């Protein structure tokens, strides 16, 4: 990061008037320390450190300003941690600059005692002194790549031992990974514990789906293109489907997954966040709090989930995993229909669908429009117009529409208007979600992070359903690996008004 003017948030609490204040500016000339807690774990190795490395390569993290610290219980040396990180980055066939790894210092310590955190603070302070940072200007970013169970303890240790003065443009910020609780009560308890230690403006609850390129494009698509504005409502849209599919099972994560299930793991956070961006009203401006205010309004307008709007599934063989209980009721598949009670979306079902061990791997949004009235071409059987946003893989946006079949006969066929990123933006790398979100954290931009009241509203929607599943009141249907999931899910889609297109396959264009 450069040493110019940056935005520094001076908010405290969740009061509306504080949200609407203009951000005050203050110089950020102090050095930046990024502390990865849980540095020896899988998340840090596969996501956090590679993202930091990419930011370093692209010039967003300058070696004369930033230093990276790893903290974990594992007793290893600086070089051993660097070798672990280097090996994972090389496995991705990326050239590694040795100097980037030399920016990493490792500290070993417990998560629930002061000794380790005092040593960590000492190492950070020595780095700040070596960089001649003015008192009160240094910046400390703590990334919690840890299990949620230790968040309160770790945050308490950071608050007690590792805070810096922030009276001359400096700051301390905390990045928290999901899951943010298991239901409304546990999420509120977690928020209360952490909220006693840090102001809301210091907390960055990260949902990596909000960092994906096509998700970030949603607001631009909706509010910067004139032809979408009159169409994006109940008068024209029949249903919206938000889908996450994987063609593999839990693969060694059975014990962890069984504790949460597909709704907590994918739907309540990732897919619900996408729903907010698809359904929200235009914010007053692009200031983060205006955007997050509109997302909260959407969540507060969602009606309670009815049992008949839910289909659960569990793939055959899931309970063969030795880490999964023999009588597990945990769904590995779910289709949930949500209904938004407001003027724009009354009567439009939002279908959230996620599953493991299915016949394909992809994440996409499908906005299906209503039938054309007075169909003189008799082409409704070919399928409706759909606007599809492919989030992964093969990022793309395409509109399915009916056109004349080339030839002398007046016959119609379904085709598409296609924007495929690999073809249109050749040679332009698409950033990883974690790169973007970590950079946003450094900049203090909370637009793509989950606010406390937003988190509460999300859990209020799903907690009653989750408790019924946990209590065994709702049972998942068995489905075969490699299938579309339970047949009842397709029946629910049809009941919700989704019309499946037969005979049409979108093929990503080749270069």
Q: How confident is the model at residue 8 (pLDDT cuts 50, 70, 90)?
A: very low
**Residue 90 CB neighbour total at 10 angstroms:** 11
Determine the average pLDDT of the residues in 331-350: 97
Structure tokens at 344: 């724009």
* Cβ–Cβ < 8 Å for 389, 368: no
Backbone torsions φ then ψ of 133, nearest 5 degrees: -70, 130
Give the whole-number percent of the chain exceeding pLDDT 70.
88
Cα–Cα–Cα angle for 160, 164, 167, rounded to 5 degrees: 130
pLDDT band at 432 (very low <50, low <70, confident <90, very high): confident
Three-state DSSP at 192 gives: helix
| Residues 418-438, mean pLDDT to the nearest whole number | 85
Of 192-201, 231-240, 395-404, the range with the lowest mean pLDDT is: 395-404
3-class SS of residue 457: helix
Task: Give per-residue pLDDT as tens, 199-235.
Answer: 999 999 999 888 888 898 899 999 999 989 999 999 9
Q: Give the span between the Cα atoms of 87 and 96, in whole angstroms.
A: 10
What domains, with CATH codes, occur in the chain? 32-177 (3.40.50.720), 210-429+450-496 (3.30.360.10)
Q: Is 467 a catalytic residue?
A: no
Element (DSSP H or E) covering residue 143: strand 139-144
pLDDT tens digits, one per residue of 406-426? 888 877 777 778 888 888 888
pTM (two decimals): 0.87
Tell me the C-alpha distance between 288 and 441, whole Å: 12
In the sheet that 362-369 helps form, which strands lie side by side, from edge to edge? 412-420, 396-404, 386-392, 362-369, 237-245, 349-355, 333-339, 310-315, 477-479
Q: Which two tokens stand for residue 293?
A: 């205010």
Q: Which of 54, 67, 208, 270 is catalytic?
A: 270
């Amino acid at each position: 990061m450069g040493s110019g003017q940056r935005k520094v948030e001076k908010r405290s609490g969740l009061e509306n008037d504080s949200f609407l204040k203009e951000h005050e500016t203050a110089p950020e000339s102090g050095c930046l320390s990024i502390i990865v807690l849980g540095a020896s774990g899988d998340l840090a190795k596969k996501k956090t450190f590679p993202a930091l490395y990419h930011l370093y390569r692209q010039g967003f993290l300058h070696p004369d300003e930033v230093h990276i610290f790893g903290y974990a219980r594992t007793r290893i040396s600086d070089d051993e941690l660097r070798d672990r990180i280097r090996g994972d980055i090389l496995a991705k066939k990326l050239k590694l600059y040795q100097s980037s790894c030399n920016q990493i210092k490792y500290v070993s310590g417990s998560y629930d005692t002061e000794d380790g955190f005092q040593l960590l603070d000492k190492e950070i302070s020595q780095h700040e002194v070596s960089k001649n940072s003015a008192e009160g200007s240094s910046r400390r970013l703590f990334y919690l790549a840890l299990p949620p169970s230790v968040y309160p303890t770790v945050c308490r240790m950071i608050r007690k031992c590792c805070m810096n003065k922030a009276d001359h443009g400096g700051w301390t910020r905390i990045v928290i990974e999901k899951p943010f609780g298991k239901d409304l009560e546990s999420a509120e308890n977690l928020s209360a514990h952490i909220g006693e230690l840090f102001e809301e403006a210091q907390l960055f609850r990260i949902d990596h789906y909000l960092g994906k390129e096509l998700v970030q494009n949603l607001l631009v698509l909706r509010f910067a293109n004139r032809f979408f504005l009159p169409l994006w409502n109940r008068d024209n849209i029949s249903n919206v489907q938000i889908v996450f599919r994987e063609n593999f099972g839990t693969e060694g994560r059975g014990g962890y997954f069984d504790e949460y299930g597909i709704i907590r793991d994918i739907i309540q956070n990732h897919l619900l966040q996408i729903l907010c961006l698809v359904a929200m009203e235009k914010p007053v401006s692009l200031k983060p709090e205006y955007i997050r205010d509109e997302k909260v309004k959407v969540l507060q307008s969602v009606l309670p989930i009815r049992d008949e709007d839910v289909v659960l599934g569990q793939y055959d063989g899931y309970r063969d995993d030795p880490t999964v209980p023999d009588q597990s009721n945990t769904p590995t598949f779910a289709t949930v229909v949500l209904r938004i009670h407001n003027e724009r979306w009354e009567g439009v079902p939002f279908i959230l669908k996620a599953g493991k061990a299915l016949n394909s791997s992809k994440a996409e949004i499908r906005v299906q429009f209503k039938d054309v009235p007075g169909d003189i071409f008799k082409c409704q059987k070919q399928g409706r117009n759909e606007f599809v946003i492919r989030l992964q893989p093969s990022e793309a946006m395409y509109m399915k529409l009916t056109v004349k079949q080339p030839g002398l006969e007046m016959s119609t066929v379904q085709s598409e208007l296609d924007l495929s990123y690999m073809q249109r933006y050749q040679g332009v790398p698409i950033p990883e979600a974690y790169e973007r979100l970590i950079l946003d954290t450094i900049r203090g931009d909370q637009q793509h992070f989950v606010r406390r009241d937003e988190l509460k509203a999300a859990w209020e929607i799903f907690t009653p359903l989750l408790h019924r599943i946990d209590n065994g009141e709702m049972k998942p249907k068995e489905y075969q690996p490699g299938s579309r999931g339970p047949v009842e899910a397709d029946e629910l889609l049809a009941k919700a008004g989704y019309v499946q297109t037969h005979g049409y396959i979108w093929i990503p264009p080749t270069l």
